């Protein structure tokens, strides 16, 4: 599943291309879509847990411009003991050009204590299943 985002005027900066900060918003929207499709969000809420971004490494490859339609894909790159890494790519729909790519490190956090936890076995199994299915 890809998330489709159309570039509008409010996404642009003074140089008339998508502002670098907007890419982070595009990636976040795609992560929410990905979570809704692959993970049980209610399970996290019932268990007082959340997946939290700990680090983002992003590469800006080409500018996106007004009217471009962008496709954003998410795939699990790594599942560790205490964290995982999600790989995301933004491509321009009309020509498949790679606009941006990013690696997002996430951790499991107890929403009450705000402390990072070891990934539960159930969550690790689910993430590995999604990783292998991609």
Catalytic residues: 13
Supply φ then ψ for residue 55, to 5 degrees.
Answer: -160, 145
On whether the CB atoms of residues 29 and 71 are closer than 8 A, the answer is no
- Cβ–Cβ contacts within 10 Å for residue 90, how many? 28
Consecutive H or E run containing 126: helix 121-133
**With b meaning 16 or more CB within 10 Å and e meaning fewer, what string describes 91-108?**
bbeeeeeebbbbebbbbb
- Cβ–Cβ contacts within 10 Å for residue 68, how many? 20
């Amino acid at each position: 599943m890809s998330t489709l985002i159309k570039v509008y005027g409010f996404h642009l900066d003074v140089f008339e291309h998508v502002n670098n900060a907007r890419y982070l918003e595009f990636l976040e929207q795609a992560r929410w879509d990905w979570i809704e499709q692959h993970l049980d969000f209610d399970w996290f809420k019932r268990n007082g847990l959340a997946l939290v971004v700990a680090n983002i490494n992003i590469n800006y490859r080409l500018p996106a411009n007004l009217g471009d339609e962008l496709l954003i894909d998410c795939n699990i790159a790594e599942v560790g003991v205490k964290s995982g890494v999600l790989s995301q790519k933004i491509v321009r729909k009309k020509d498949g050009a790679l606009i941006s790519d990013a690696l997002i490190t996430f951790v499991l956090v107890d929403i009450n204590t705000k402390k990072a936890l070891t990934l539960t076995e159930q969550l690790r199994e689910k993430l590995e299943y999604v990783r292998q299915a991609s």
